[in-house]
Structure 1
């Protein structure tokens, strides 16, 4: 049975964020890390869907305002090239602090999509408070972008929380070799369970509504994966 929810933009320690939570008390939470869209309609939909399962969702705003609601993807891709890994991770940890101290959540994980999927892996290595790490088609290209100063593969090997990573086999941005390096890093860990799902013909960013509407394969991948993701979250944040 779906929970009644309330959602809206909030300010957290000077950071803009989107908060969606069930109206009945919850101690489970997820920090949501967007794709290039920022906190656009698609990301708010993800957050609201999580809240309906009984999990409080707080979404990081990488652009501090712009999103696909009012800004072209071309402009947002330009902004993505200027992100600083360390500054972004510091902002995420401030949001985690807020979730634990101000929202009263006892078990908090992280879920990221595309760009956010890579950051979810990086954050998983930095913050041992995390109850889980979910990386949806993480953007970890074969050749790191110039501003990717933190090694995602090395970071992935240091995550101690349970990890669920989802990879589309037809990913045009992340080659199979890059995925297998991430998978090997997960499997090298002595602590933390690893679940790896592969969707053979799905495309990078298959969770995005536009990609689902234009491809039956992407839609099927999302329809199969999302219930498993929410179940994984429910189990690890209980």
Structure 2
């Protein structure tokens, strides 16, 4: 029997099409469950923003023909702004937001063309300073403020894995944000010249409400780390919260990978939209 669940394509043809549609080399092969959000009814594109030592490439998406949409910054996983992250931007645009995903490794290298995860971590990610990332995100907000399609005064941030940690850090860095959603971002760890502070160290000073979406079975982020973060947050006044999904592993939202868990991913997305709407970012 022919599987026509993907727009009339057989499963084999669908997966072949996915592999050629902009996913990072390190995440091949692509799962047949991968979500592809169409761009019809949206304005999508790329831009370059002047920043220190170069021009920051960004992908952006928003509802077609609409102006002053609330803005969401979308922060990449370690694999860069590949098709999954662009699709997240389109999902947000379909929900009424202007979404911007900056290429935060552009000075250090193009990770989409590196097939080995350890090489990505050692040769690129480890060389990216937090201060550079936070400044680039500031530049994205400043650029968005010059665009008619976005209301940079109503802004939030979300990020996945590496980007989940950055979402916590940027919420601490920029108290003018309305809200943040961090998907399974690391909460604590060793400090270095490039990563001088971890989210746990900043939790008690947060004023921006952050929703943390985490998996109970995440081998890299143990439950006692989440409990320490909750305790630190309780000393502050940000109103941040956690949802921990029973049995879910790391990267449970990544529908293009074997780690995807549909129930947790769909519930997390609904919570993301509700969190933003409840904290000044209703569309």
After TM superposition, the score normalised by the length of structure 2 is 0.75
CA distance in 1, matches of 2:277, 2:214: 21
Aligned to 2:201: 154
Alignment partner of 1:226 out of 247, 265, 269: 269
CA RMSD of superposed structures (Å): 2.1
Greater alpha carbon shift after TM alignment, 90-99 vs 100-109:
100-109
Aligned to 1:19: 60
Instruction: Check the 8 A contact 1:34/1:59 in 2, yes or no.
Output: yes
Aligned to 1:95: 140
Aligned to 1:63: 105
Alignment partner of 1:207 out of 223, 246, 253: 253
Per-residue deviation, 1:102: 3.4
Per-residue deviation, 1:149: 1.3
For residue 213 of structure 2, give the secondary structure of its aligned residue in structure 1.
Answer: strand
Q: Any idea what the Cα deviations from partners look like across 1:118-176, whole Å, max 9, x if unmatched? A: 111111111111010111101235x3364421232122222212211111111111122
Instruction: Check the 8 A contact 1:26/1:55 in 2, yes or no.
Output: no
Larger radius of gyration: 2
2:51 counterpart of 1:9: no
For 1:85-234, list aligned pairs within 5 A.
Answer: 85-103=130-148, 104-105=150-151, 106-141=153-188, 143-144=189-190, 146=192, 147-190=194-237, 192-211=238-257, 214=258, 218-234=261-277
CA distance in 2, matches of 1:209, 1:160: 32
Unaligned 5+ residue runs, structure 2? 1-37
The number of aligned residues is 231
Alignment partner of 2:127 out of 61, 65, 82: 82
Alignment partner of 1:51 out of 84, 93, 109: 93
Unaligned 5+ residue runs, structure 1? none
CA distance in 1, matches of 2:72, 2:48: 17
Aligned to 2:33: none
Per-residue deviation, 1:235: 3.1
CA distance in 1, matches of 2:77, 2:116: 11
Q: Any idea what the Cα deviations from partners look like across 1:34-68, whole Å, max 9, x if unmatched? A: 11111001100111100100000011212216243
Q: Any idea what the Cα deviations from partners look like across 1:176-207, whole Å, max 9, x if unmatched? A: 222112222222212x3222101121111111
Instruction: Check the 8 A contact 2:249/2:259 in 1, yes or no.
Output: no
CA distance in 2, matches of 1:163, 1:152: 11
Instruction: Check the 8 A contact 1:9/1:18 in 2, yes or no.
Output: yes
Greater alpha carbon shift after TM alignment, 97-106 vs 221-230:
97-106
Instruction: Check the 8 A contact 2:90/2:99 in 1, yes or no.
Output: yes
Instruction: Check the 8 A contact 1:111/1:135 in 2, yes or no.
Output: yes
Report the CA distance shift for 1:114/1:145 in structure 2 as closer, same or farther (over 3 A): farther
Per-residue deviation, 1:73: 4.5
